[in-house]
Amino acid sequence: MNRALAFIFITVLIDAIGFGVVIPVFPQLIMGLTGRSLASAAEVSGWIAFMYAAIQFLMGPVIGGLSDRFGRRPVLLASLAAFAADYVVMAFAPTLWWLVAARAVAGITGATFPTAYAYIADVTPPEKRGANFGIIGMAFGFGFIIGPALGGFAARWGHEVPFLVSAGLAMANFIYGLFVLPESLPRERRRAFEWRRANPVGALMRPKSAHPVVLMLAATVFIWTLSYQSLYSIWSYHGQQRYGWTPEQVGWSLAAIGVTGAFVQGFLGRRLIPRFGQMRIIQFGLLSAVAGYSTYTLADDGWMVYLGIALSACQGLVFPCLQGLMSAEMGQSEQGELQGAVASIQSLSAIIGPPLMTTTFSWFSGNGAPVYAPGAPFALSLVFVGLTAIMFFRAMGSRRVVPAE
């Protein structure tokens, strides 16, 4: 890993730790602010995620366009500073509406990941982007090793402590970037910011002008990101409801996901993608997702969840490979705009996914459930994996020339 990629790895790693720290305690925070049951609190969490994603959907192409105009570094630093303030507000939120306001601010400034992807595109040749995009997944995986375990442990001293830990990490990341992180986009490669291009509809349609296959791959990314909304939306609630896990046990299970994700995306991915190509790796990753979600759906004992984590590990290679295929179709000066569009696609799926998954969980696990099946959201994820496979093969069938992988 060269110096520039090491900078981005550390930046995303610390941000991912901050993100993972709060996950195990979010159910207790919402139950404490609303007085609701666990199943009902999951629904509230889903709608908060809906609001966050809706704002990020609108702001994703704006942030991407700003990074193309002013550079990646100032956008990354502004985002990190805002996140630090956001975590402090969440730690001491006296009511649910304070929490909602804090998440709204986070949605506006949530530009770290798409800008980091654009940074990698700046410093990486097209044929190596699929593998190097996996560095983001690797950093996120390591963050999930440390963050949730740290959050579950810190929750012993109160639910606000993990949020304060996250604030400290985000601020440390900001200070690190302020003094160390170099700019990756030279002034001569920047483009003017245009409001007509900085909108989610325009960002989603823009890839079509490069090649129709990019638009089809964008649709594939959308369905794929819908499939794993169950992991982000109901994992903590599902573990506590079905297996009686404590926040600390939830944290350890998420840390296990981080271990496998970091190993696959950081070690295996950088070796397997150049050898077998992005298309074959995507196919294998889809099969891995089927195995994992099937296990989560049927697992009656907590230990079986860890089997599912192992089986599903290679699904983490799907997203960076899809991004690699899309990035190869776009010009160098459009990488920030492309990653902003991808961020909007992810946010669009996150608008739909969390309420869908948490409502499904509440429906099948709350009082009066027609059938007690708390794993139902994972079965829904299986449906989306199948749709992803259909869209991917259609996109690949429409290509006239296979790009270098």
Q: Tens place of pLDDT for every residue, the chain, 405 residues?
A: 466 677 778 777 777 777 677 778 888 888 888 888 887 888 888 888 788 778 877 777 777 777 788 888 888 888 888 888 888 988 888 888 888 888 888 777 765 666 777 788 787 777 677 677 777 767 776 777 788 888 888 888 887 888 888 888 888 888 888 887 778 787 777 777 766 666 656 555 555 555 677 778 888 999 999 998 888 788 888 998 889 888 888 888 888 887 887 788 777 877 888 888 888 899 999 999 999 999 999 998 989 999 999 999 889 889 888 888 877 766 666 666 666 677 677 777 878 888 899 889 988 887 777 888 888 999 999 999 999 999 998 888 766 544 444
Range of the domain at 100: 3-180+198-397
Alpha carbons 329 and 117: distance in angstroms, whole number: 15
Alpha carbons 310 and 123: distance in angstroms, whole number: 32
Alpha carbons 109 and 76: distance in angstroms, whole number: 9
Alpha carbons 232 and 356: distance in angstroms, whole number: 12
DSSP string of 303-315? HHHHHHHHHTGGG
In a domain, 48, yes or no: yes
Question: Which residue shows structure tokens 């996950």?
Answer: 23
Greatest distance between any 2 Cα atoms in the chain: 63
Question: Which residue shows structure tokens 């900001």?
Answer: 174
| CB-CB contact of 357 with 230 (8 Å) | yes
Amino acid 366 reads G
Cα of first residue to Cα of last residue in the chain, in angstroms, is: 19
In a domain, 283, yes or no: yes
In a domain, 300, yes or no: yes
In a domain, 301, yes or no: yes
In a domain, 192, yes or no: no
In a domain, 251, yes or no: yes
We report the CATH number of the domain holding residue 333 as: 1.20.1250.20
244 in the Ramachandran plot: left (φ > 0), alpha (ψ -120 to 50) or beta?
Answer: left
| CB-CB contact of 237 with 41 (8 Å) | yes
In a domain, 185, yes or no: no
Domain count, the chain: 1
Measured between alpha carbons, how far is residue 209 from residues 97, 202, 331 in Å? 42, 11, 11
